[in-house]
């Protein structure tokens, strides 16, 4: 049985509101903890008084993302691939390990499938041994190219299992199935978050995702590449909001498994996003239109009534405010010659 120390903390949330935490210091594992989302999650968990173990194989995560945490005595970093078993004493697990951008997950599709499937099996096994709660970072990709808009959790999706994106899509779908199998067969305390497009500081500058692409291109004065005619829509959630949603989901009672959509319900076209980033950066970059990739979804917008009801959660950061913070991050990164390497 793991030792749990009970402490009382007073913190201020992102909006400056005082919060009292009468919490136990839990030992929490974050897989993929040196990645974009993982590093923000590790940081936030430490802020609210937990002990954090971060694992990453540094395929897409970088040491730069968690360098400011290394001196914290309650933070441990383990270089580890979730495809391999891991033995730790742990209270909670956030399973975030998987490349999330098409450029990275399509580079080695078999590896992507193994990370999703074998990683889920190994982390579920670890949770079972420790009787720990576990959150799976699933994805809006499980909905494929949806015929229902916006997408509720009850929608089963429209997915092509043979397209170039299917290594990620089907990997995430299979991971969800594994999580529910462990729930039904072993009574494991699982939580599934379906994460929609998220952005913010520490995004990889070369990950091919639309916001990082547009901002880096605009800051460099390069052409801004839009696939298709720019009418496809997305909904963008700032990273701080997303992290609060994940932590809120972990804190729900045992019977609440999800899936729960986490993302912004505010929809914007890719063309409008490009124009907005041009305006915020003051860039003179030109818009260039390229062929639309195979099976690129035309619409992505979460229906978040379940998150509102179960977690009392919805995004707070407006798109322009989040974009400014993200632009500032990339300006600083590029000024130091940052190229996204580990």
Q: Are 86 and 54 in contact (CB under 8 A)?
A: no
Q: Which of 105, 143, 168, 329 is catalytic?
A: 168
Token pair recorded at residue 335: 């000024």
DSSP-based three-state secondary structure for 170:
helix
C-alpha 335/C-alpha 323 separation (Å) is 18
Which two tokens mark 143? 């909905």
Q: Using only the alpha carbons of the chain, give its radius of gyration.
A: 19
59 is catalytic: no
Rounded Cα gap, residues 259 and 129, in angstroms: 23
Instruction: In whole angstroms, give the CA distance from residue 170 to residue 162.
Output: 10
DSSP 192: E
- Whole-angstrom CA distances from 129 to 76, 181, 187, 188 are 20, 16, 12, 10
SS3 percent helix, strand, coil of the chain, rounded to 5, is 40, 20, 40
Q: Are 241 and 316 in contact (CB under 8 A)?
A: yes
Does residue 121 come out as left (phi exceeding 0), alpha (psi in the -120 to 50 range) or beta?
A: alpha
- Asked if residues 201 and 329 have their Cβ atoms less than 8 Å apart, the reply is yes
As annotated, the active-site residues are 168
């Amino acid at each position: 049985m793991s030792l749990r120390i009970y402490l009382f903390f007073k913190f201020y949330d992102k909006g400056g509101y005082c919060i009292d935490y009468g919490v136990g210091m839990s030992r929490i594992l974050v897989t993929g903890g040196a990645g974009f989302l993982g590093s923000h999650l590790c940081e936030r968990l430490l802020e609210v008084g937990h002990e954090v173990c971060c694992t990453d194989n540094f395929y897409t995560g970088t040491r730069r993302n968690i360098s400011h945490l290394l001196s914290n005595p309650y933070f441990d970093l383990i270089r580890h691939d979730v495809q391999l078993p891991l033995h730790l004493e742990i209270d909670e697990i956030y399973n975030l390990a998987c490349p999330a951008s098409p450029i990275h997950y399509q580079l080695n599709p078999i590896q992507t499938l193994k990370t999703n499937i074998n990683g889920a099996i190994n982390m579920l096994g670890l949770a079972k041994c420790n009787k720990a709660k576990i959150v799976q970072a699933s994805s809006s990709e499980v909905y494929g190219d949806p015929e229902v808009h916006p997408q509720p959790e009850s929608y089963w999706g429209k997915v092509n299992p043979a397209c170039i994106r299917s290594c990620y899509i089907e990997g995430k779908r299979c991971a969800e199935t594994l999580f529910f199998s462990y729930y039904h067969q072993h009574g494991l305390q699982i939580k599934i978050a379906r994460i929609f497009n998220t952005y913010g500081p520490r995004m990889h500058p070369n990950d091919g995702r639309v916001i990082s692409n547009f901002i880096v291109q605009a800051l460099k004065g390069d052409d801004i590449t839009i696939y298709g005619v720019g009418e496809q829509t997305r909904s963008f959630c700032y990273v701080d909001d997303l992290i609060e949603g994940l932590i809120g989901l972990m804190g729900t009672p045992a019977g609440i498994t999800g899936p729960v959509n986490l993302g912004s319900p505010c929809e914007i076209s890719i063309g409008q996003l490009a124009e907005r980033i041009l305006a915020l950066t003051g860039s003179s970059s030109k818009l260039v239109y390229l062929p639309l990739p195979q099976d690129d979804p035309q619409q992505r917008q979460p229906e978040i009534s379940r998150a509102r009801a179960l977690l009392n959660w919805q995004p707070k950061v407006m798109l322009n405010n989040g974009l400014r913070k993200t632009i500032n991050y990339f300006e600083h990164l590029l000024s130091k010659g940052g190229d996204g390497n580990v």
